[in-house]
Amino acid sequence: MSEDIRLAMRQARESSGLAWDEFARRAGFSRPHLRSVENGTRGVTEDVVRAYDRVLGTGGVFAATLAGREDPEGSPWTRSGALAALLETSQGAVLDLDRRRFVVTGGAALAALTGRWTSAVAAARPVLPTTDAVPKVLATVANRLEELRHLGDELGSGTMAQLARNELALTAQVLKSGRMTGREEDLGLSLAAEAARQVGWNLFDGDRQAAAERYYALALRASAAAGDRTTGAYAMSFMAVQHYTVGNPRDAVSLLETAEAHVGLGATPRMQAMLAARRARALSKTGDLKSCARALNRARDLVGDGPNEDDPPFLYWVTPGEVEMIAGSCALQLRDPQRALRNFHDGLAADYPGDEDHPRLAAIYLARIAEAHVENHDLDEAVDQARYAVRCLGSVDSARSSDTLAGVRAKLQAHRGNPKVRDFLQVG
């Protein structure tokens, strides 16, 4: 645990933006002393972790971790604590939390959260394959979560959030019954983590940021209790998307680096490709062109290995075409619209499923293609793509897609003198 808490302390300090000397001054220790604690040449002591908690405003998380106590803001990061959190959240009114357009948890608090996950997943027994028959109720939940993943590609976020929450509540009740064996309980916790991840993703898509964060944190807690690094890392990657979209992209980079570090080399190439591609997207938001390019090349190399029989079923969408679409978004963010269009073209020409299977996501990418055409001064093509995006979105409830289309409209406003542009802005 000491190594994990050192890493979390370092990440929290770096995320705070405080210079080393200023941080040490506020903590009341010398810089060499604190550096040696983070590097492992000095022990992690109670007075030091309390200083980190005080300066970084973590709410006592580091002190609680060192003492092996429960999370000061909730139940402990144990199996019983995870179950208590699952029951409380699935039965509460978290879906009704405010619709703030920013994330609440960032910097030091976010590093403290991932530090708790890191410590808890390391302490849990690892998920092992079993040849035992899966209990019928868990098999049913697994099948329905698989259906919801695909159905969510076609429908709006509000309905999907509630449907996934229903599966979360059912799984929590099954776990509460106490009739599961150890391996069955592991599976139940992993399914609960995926259900919470789906709720969080759909709440994010519906612009309910505070509520989405709660469910992502719940997914991390449940996956840690199960010892399931893969499901936890997957949830963390979606939390990263939220942060690079409406929060601090540097927090997103940190989340993805943590996920990559702890999912390990045992992860399938497809899983590693997904994490690398999303890290590239986060890096593009920070303006780091070289690091973004390296991450994209890594994602391309890994996804080129093709599917693996050990791929988790939730990675069905990770394809060469998707990586190229992400690359196009990165290039557009980095103000290279010509490269963006080449990437988008390569993605569409590869295996990207398109608007029939993924209308919500297709609308986002089509809007970005339209934006790239605007930047290239090809207004006719920009309007054609924007109209296509509007048709794809239709009546689907997706604040994220609508916001992307609104961004295109805003860019086209400067070209209202063009008859085609003016007509689109007036009638869509």
Q: How does pLDDT run across 388-420, given as a tens digit for each residue?
A: 888 887 756 677 788 888 888 999 999 999 999
Q: Whole-angstrom Cα distance, residue 410 to residue 421?
A: 11
Per DSSP, the three-state class of 134 is coil
Query: Do 59 and 94 lie in a common domain?
Result: no
Tell me the chain's radius of gyration from C-alpha atoms. Answer: 22
Domain termination residue (choose one: 262, 281, 310): 262
Domain termination residue (choose one: 218, 245, 262): 262
Residue 311 forms part of a structural domain: no
Range of the domain at 221: 77-262
Query: Do 92 and 229 lie in a common domain?
Result: yes
Residue in the structure block whose two tokens are 């776990």: 175
Furthest CA-CA distance within the chain? 70
- Name the packing angle between helices 399-412 and 419-427 (round to 10°): 150
Query: Do 251 and 368 lie in a common domain?
Result: no
Query: Do 124 and 8 lie in a common domain?
Result: no
Q: How many domains does the chain have?
A: 3
Query: Do 245 and 147 lie in a common domain?
Result: yes
Residue in the structure block whose two tokens are 């409830």: 397
Please report the pLDDT score of residue 428 as a whole number.
65
Check if the beta carbon of residue 228 is closer than 8 Å to that of residue 193: yes
Residue 314 forms part of a structural domain: no
Residue 108 forms part of a structural domain: yes
Residue 200 forms part of a structural domain: yes
Query: Do 63 and 87 lie in a common domain?
Result: no
Question: How far from chain centre, in Å, is Cα 275?
Answer: 10
Residue 194 forms part of a structural domain: yes
Please report the pLDDT score of residue 94 as a whole number.
47
Query: Do 124 and 230 lie in a common domain?
Result: yes
Please report the pLDDT score of residue 68 as a whole number.
64
Structure tokens at 20: 């080393």
Q: Which residues of the chain have pLDDT under 50?
A: 1, 70, 72-73, 94, 97-98, 100
Query: Do 97 and 180 lie in a common domain?
Result: yes
Query: Do 126 and 48 lie in a common domain?
Result: no
Q: Whole-angstrom Cα distance, residue 208 to residue 222?
A: 21
Query: Do 250 and 389 lie in a common domain?
Result: no
Torsion of CA 324, 325, 326, 330, to 10 degrees: 90
Q: Whole-angstrom Cα distance, residue 278 to residue 398?
A: 20
The CATH number of the domain holding residue 48 is: 1.10.260.40
Domain termination residue (choose one: 246, 262, 278): 262
Residue 272 forms part of a structural domain: no
Residue 37 forms part of a structural domain: yes
User: Which alpha helices (H) appear in 288-358, and where do they start and end?
Assistant: 289-303, 320-333, 337-349
Check if the beta carbon of residue 330 is closer than 8 Å to that of residue 304: no
Residue 182 forms part of a structural domain: yes
Query: Do 180 and 144 lie in a common domain?
Result: yes
Query: Do 65 and 163 lie in a common domain?
Result: no
Please report the pLDDT score of residue 274 as a whole number.
98
